[in-house]
Structure 1
Amino acid sequence: MNVFFPGRVRHLGALACLAWAMPSLAADALSEITVTAARQAQPRQAALADVTIIDRAELDRAGQDALPQLLARERGVEVASNGGIHNSTSVFIRGANSNQTLVLVDGQRLGSATTGGAALDAVPLAAIERVEILRGPSSSLYGADAIGGVINIITRQGEDGPAKLRASIGAGSDETVRTQAAVSGGSDGWRYAVSGGYGQSAGFSAIANTGSSQYNPDRDGYAERNVSAQLSRQWQPGHSLDARYLYSRVNSEYDGSKTGYDRTRQIVSALSLASNNQLTSWWHSRLRLGETLDDSTTYSQYPSQIRTRQRQYSWQNDFTLAASQRLSLALERLEERVSSSGFAGKAPAGRNTNSATLVYAGQFGDHHVQANLRQDDNSAYGDKTTGGLSYGYDLSRQWRATVSGSTGFRAPTFNELYYPGYGQTQIRPETSRNLEASLRYQDGGSQAGLTVYRNRVHDLIVTQRPCSVKGYLSCANNVNRAVLEGVSLSLGHSWDSTRVRADLDWQNPHDADTGKRLARRASRLAKFSVNQDWAGWDLGAEWQLSNRRYDNVANTNPLGGYGLVNLTASRALSRDWQVQARWNNVGNKHYEQAKDYGVSGSTLFVNLVYQP
């Protein structure tokens, strides 16, 4: 079912005219800072890359949702979940596979080296200050796995001033309850922030198809708890130490058999210590060491345990060459340590990567340039060199045109390399080459952007049946090519009390050999939102639309298109108290993100916040 606008690129001309007609980004948007697009802080409007920021205000409106559901409301992002919000979830950026998107927490890699994915749903929203989405191959900045893009989760930190308390408790549909408490502050060079939370829900049946061999009519709920902390000390001007810790544990139920009690325990954690030093007026040094953990244990008739621990060391030096020219040099080491019940001692315990990254950014009047170069040396699959070059030209104070080219790669997972009866040690990393062009407008309360991209992926690792290796029924192998191409349009405007946004995507992520669309990816997406301040209320409405997708690579199992309407509201009850509400899927729409799996119906969640 096609639920919205025609799919012809020829209609872009009319939509581009709408962008020109927009009357004139809000002042606060112009001051937003991104650190992901060039590995160091810069105003968002100065970034040449396609980057979006989900700010704290948007996170506060999340209600009962987890991080993947917030990402799904952003341009060029799709989500497919095998049941509830804490079941297996895939996130696709610009049509790339879920394992082709790199996830960072405060710049550190988070994810599983066995499956290739990251448990985004387990990262607590209350611990997040903002999320930056960088679209397009970014391996020349961050190394392996950044073919579709990068999701950088930046956690909360304290600010100078007396201690600030924030506590909340919320309840809603499916017997959902969540509570959170946090305190932050700072003085005399010290800053701190500590938070903790708990949540649970009875959920709904993860599999909706009663004819499925795995269907179980029981409700599949979850219980989650989390804690985060940050402590920093500026011991003299330009010199500081920063420590951060994040821990989250989720127990989620799923349907794995008709009568069994199937559940997964997911733990994610991140610990880091960083020293920031302004060594001279033109040289800033950042030395960081840290460790992240992705630990998943399944309790069912087929129990399993997989764990990835990533130790990371980095030293980045930022040099100011001139008033409008900067050079960054980063040296990094990544140590991945893996354990899995499926390997039975037949795989190495880990692999190491040493890398060097060079980033140059310069502005010459109306001309802007960014060049990235990175070398990764991995003990399992060898060397990979990636690069990126972007050029932007200011057509006027409001308009900028940008062209860029970049390369990326995805490292084979431990499953693809070593899993007994499936893995192949000779397979190569996936590689990609991307070209894109964009036109952006921002002025006052208005913004518009048009981006055209084409990303070619080679040596795609897929399951080959029958396997070319004697004795294997199926195996991982570099046998496919894919093309990720599309056009993305964004429009937004802010009045005194009204904010509107529209994001439209025409995309064609497909197998380059067969022409078939990649599984669970739509060809057309639309996302609209409006927020209105009225009589002390902040009211919001969201409309998400997707056309038909397919659940398999042969494109024989269609998933119907759908449209979802969500409503939000918040109001200050007093100086210290606020009430927030989110009503998802107002029309109780039945749809599928994955064949046979259920999705949440119409749900309401109300949150009471105390912040003196």
Structure 2
Amino acid sequence: MRCKLLVVFLVASLPVLGDDVVRDSVRVEEVVVTGHSISRFQAGSKIEKVKQAQFLAMQDGSLEQLLLRYTPVAVKGMAGSLSTIRLRGTSPDHTSINFGGININSLTLGHSNVSNVPMYLFDEIGLQYGSASVVNGSGSIGGAIHLGMNNYWVDGLKAELRVANGSFGEQLYGTKLFYGNGKWEGVTRAFYYAKANDFPFYNTTYDYDKKGDFGEDVQQNASIDNKGVIQEFNYRFNERSALTFKAWFEHDWHEIQQNMQTNALQPNVRETLMDEHVRLWSEYTSKQQRVSWLVGAGYVYDNSVHNQSTDNIATQRVLGKAEADYKLGINNGIKTGVSLKSIYPDVYAYDTDLSHENWTDLYLSYFHSFFNKLTLTINIRQAFVTNYSVPLTPALGFSFNAVSGDSYVWSFTGNVSRSYRVPTFNDRYWIPGGNPDLKPEKGMNYELGTKLSYASEQLVGHLKLNAFYLDVDNWLLWVNNGGWEAQNVQRVQSKGLEISTDWNWILGQYGLNSGMNYTYNPVVRKAANNSNSENMAIGRQLEYVPLHRGVLYVNGSYKNIMAGLDASYTDEQYISQGDKMLPELVLLNAQLAYRCQINRDNVLRIAGSFNNLTNKDYQSSYGYPMPRANYRVSITYNFK
């Protein structure tokens, strides 16, 4: 009966959009972002995969839009210009974003612009909540996001063409080509995205007629022009070993959105930012009966150009990784590995004596399962950085299936882990203000969770509850003491409660999926260690972290038609260490899709997304307007 329960769970986790989507999801067993190798040694960690139906609904958008609509993660955005995340109340620098064996976060800034991460290029998204430094290294105090790509091992040619158009000049053109003979395959994924971003808004910072009334305005100089391609070449030696290669080339350009006051008084002010990225990763994997091997190597080039300047802000990385996973027995195993990184900065504001920096990470993991009910995991990671001291990061976790029956499982999880972040190159070496003597940020994470899963022939779902506590010392800020400089000035505590549900009803040809994600997240400064500490709002909620955030969604399907509705709530947020706040916000969105099966090998899908249905004027970053009601319509053609 438990086997039957597992099968029902797997089937219910598939999207309700049609057979073409289901086939592509079922055939692939190697899940990159939430696969066995990631979760097996991290008992007690909260690792979730974005539902496939939700991921497919956001294929025309960015990582920012997906997180806002379907997760409780807080996002601070500027209408496509710059968006950063605050996972469990931490800073944008505290969440790693991973592609293959690469953390794509900038080595100069420390974070990624999530509005520049296109969902069209990927197959799935995984979120790891809470400390992940023991697995992902520096910069994962708040958690990690994994950009997943599957191997399909196609025999022949399979292709997809996609066109999307929307409000305010939005357009996306994309293609995916899969070609091979079942033993080798090539995959090409390419997209072009542009948006004029000339949306109307109500300007709350400028008095047009000098009578105390505010007026209508139109956003100026905020256009976007992004393009990218991921090329894969994969070779399968046999069912247990394969060689994969991925190359991600990205060119992102946008006009930096000006605030409301500048938009009204100086509409001709124009700033541009261009980011270029080359990310290469290749790895060989061998999965034998008791021993599995992985050897990987990579190269990353990042360059940022502000206003077509000739001043370089570029870095290069050479990466290497090797690990072995050995099954000691049926119920226990061990994994050990090493990762290497050499960084070569080329930044005009750094000391010219800084030629490169070497990183070496050693890690060891162990898991043991008792009676198919209790699993314990132990992880240890130690990093070595040139001329820098990095703390040891251990982690201990457990998962326990307390009660189970024919149709339900009630489980408990827990995790204690240490985390760290090495300050960025800008923090340490930018002239003026950088400080090479900065200490690494250090965090302690404690987490407890419980999950009740239920499955019957018509209803499948779960209720999950997680409580967490995170204490981060040496929190780094740039402070103004007669001039801006980087300092370890704060101790921050983040705690909270997360509740999530997801339920699937299957009634013949009708399907219904509904759920919620909610987080209660008090985040406060407990101490500050600089001369301006009295102005740092000790004991008060941190800026741009809402105390409450939640999303609700419901999706229904009948035959080849799917419709969905989602709503998000973001509590009021402090914008600075003063008293000014952004008001609370509720956004309502809808989507509709129709799948037309032309024949066995040709499928046409038409979809529409309708956002901010209540036509709200709102801000995600103070002083920067966001679009009112808008739409996007896409046509996707899949063929062999």
**Contact preservation (8 Å) 1:139, 1:407:** yes
Shift of the 351–510 alpha-carbon distance from structure 1 to 2, 3 Å rule, reads same
Equivalent residue for 1:12?
none
Equivalent residue for 1:508?
522
Matched, 1:251 2:253: yes
Equivalent residue for 1:6?
none
Equivalent residue for 1:582?
609
Matched, 1:225 2:209: no
Shift of the 216–336 alpha-carbon distance from structure 1 to 2, 3 Å rule, reads farther
| Structural mapping, 1:97-108, within 5 Å | 97-108=91-102
Equivalent residue for 2:271?
262
Matched, 1:532 2:552: no
Distance 1:465 1:68 in 2: 30
Matched, 1:494 2:504: yes
Distance 2:36 2:9 in 1: 23
**Contact preservation (8 Å) 1:592, 1:599:** yes
Distance 1:135 1:361 in 2: 20
Equivalent residue for 1:7?
none
Shift of the 217–119 alpha-carbon distance from structure 1 to 2, 3 Å rule, reads closer
Matched, 1:203 2:197: yes
Distance 1:211 1:346 in 2: 43
Of 359, 364, 368, the match for 1:358:
364
| Structural mapping, 1:398-409, within 5 Å | 398-409=409-420
Matched, 1:521 2:545: yes
Shift of the 443–114 alpha-carbon distance from structure 1 to 2, 3 Å rule, reads same
Distance 2:224 2:579 in 1: 33
Matched, 1:91 2:101: no
The secondary structure found in structure 1 opposite 2:301 is strand
Equivalent residue for 1:377?
384
Q: Summarize deviations over 1:551-596 as a string: whole Å, max 9, x none.
A: 11x1422011100011011101342211011001111112211110
**Contact preservation (8 Å) 2:43, 2:398:** no
Shift of the 478–39 alpha-carbon distance from structure 1 to 2, 3 Å rule, reads farther
Q: Summarize deviations over 1:82-121 as a string: whole Å, max 9, x none.
A: x222x12111111110101111102311121111112333
| Structural mapping, 1:411-490, within 5 Å | 411-444=422-455, 445-466=460-481, 473-490=483-500
Q: Summarize deviations over 1:194-233 as a string: whole Å, max 9, x none.
A: 1212121111379975748xx9952411111111111111
Distance 1:37 1:60 in 2: 17
The secondary structure found in structure 2 opposite 1:218 is coil
Equivalent residue for 1:572?
595
User: Which deviates the most, 231-240 or 451-460?
Assistant: 231-240
- TM-aligned CA deviation for residue 36 of structure 1: 5.3
Shift of the 208–484 alpha-carbon distance from structure 1 to 2, 3 Å rule, reads farther
Distance 1:113 1:254 in 2: 21
**Contact preservation (8 Å) 2:170, 2:194:** yes
Of 391, 394, 400, the match for 1:393:
400
Q: Summarize deviations over 1:398-433 as a string: whole Å, max 9, x none.
A: 111112100101111111111112111111010000
Gaps of at least 5 residues in structure 1 are 1-23, 467-471
Distance 2:427 2:118 in 1: 30
Distance 2:413 2:247 in 1: 38
Shift of the 38–27 alpha-carbon distance from structure 1 to 2, 3 Å rule, reads closer
Equivalent residue for 1:281?
289
User: Which deviates the most, 102-111 or 303-312?
Assistant: 303-312
Q: Summarize deviations over 1:294-321 as a string: whole Å, max 9, x none.
A: 3221117x88642232221000111111
**Contact preservation (8 Å) 2:200, 2:627:** no
**Contact preservation (8 Å) 1:347, 1:419:** no
**Contact preservation (8 Å) 1:206, 1:254:** no
Distance 2:69 2:368 in 1: 33
The secondary structure found in structure 2 opposite 1:261 is coil
Shift of the 586–27 alpha-carbon distance from structure 1 to 2, 3 Å rule, reads same
- Residue 544 of structure 2 aligns with an amino acid whose one-letter code is R
Distance 1:180 1:411 in 2: 37
Gaps of at least 5 residues in structure 2 are 1-7, 15-25, 207-216, 528-537
Equivalent residue for 1:17?
none
**Contact preservation (8 Å) 1:527, 1:544:** yes
Equivalent residue for 2:305?
297
The secondary structure found in structure 1 opposite 2:65 is helix
- TM-aligned CA deviation for residue 130 of structure 1: 0.9
Percent identical among aligned pairs is: 17
Equivalent residue for 1:410?
421
Q: Summarize deviations over 1:1-20 as a string: whole Å, max 9, x none.
A: xxxxxxxxxxxxxxxxxxxx
User: Which deviates the most, 566-575 or 234-243?
Assistant: 234-243
Distance 2:130 2:632 in 1: 35
Shift of the 407–207 alpha-carbon distance from structure 1 to 2, 3 Å rule, reads farther
- TM-aligned CA deviation for residue 47 of structure 1: 5.1
Equivalent residue for 1:40?
37
- Residue 148 of structure 1 aligns with an amino acid whose one-letter code is G
Shift of the 375–206 alpha-carbon distance from structure 1 to 2, 3 Å rule, reads farther
Equivalent residue for 1:148?
142
**Contact preservation (8 Å) 1:216, 1:255:** no
**Contact preservation (8 Å) 1:519, 1:550:** yes
Distance 2:192 2:40 in 1: 35
The secondary structure found in structure 2 opposite 1:73 is helix
Equivalent residue for 1:165?
159
- Residue 499 of structure 1 aligns with an amino acid whose one-letter code is N
**Contact preservation (8 Å) 2:163, 2:172:** yes
Shift of the 342–55 alpha-carbon distance from structure 1 to 2, 3 Å rule, reads farther
The secondary structure found in structure 2 opposite 1:116 is coil
Matched, 1:608 2:635: yes
User: Which deviates the most, 176-185 or 487-496?
Assistant: 176-185
Matched, 1:306 2:313: yes
Distance 2:124 2:305 in 1: 29
Equivalent residue for 2:5?
none
**Contact preservation (8 Å) 1:111, 1:294:** no
Distance 1:420 1:71 in 2: 35
**Contact preservation (8 Å) 1:173, 1:604:** yes
Equivalent residue for 1:4?
none
**Contact preservation (8 Å) 1:110, 1:294:** no
Matched, 1:271 2:306: no
- Residue 490 of structure 1 aligns with an amino acid whose one-letter code is S
Aligned-residue Cα RMSD (Å) equals 2.6
Equivalent residue for 2:374?
367
| Structure-1-length-normalised TM-score | 0.89
Shift of the 551–479 alpha-carbon distance from structure 1 to 2, 3 Å rule, reads same
**Contact preservation (8 Å) 2:43, 2:377:** no
**Contact preservation (8 Å) 1:37, 1:47:** no
**Contact preservation (8 Å) 1:157, 1:230:** no
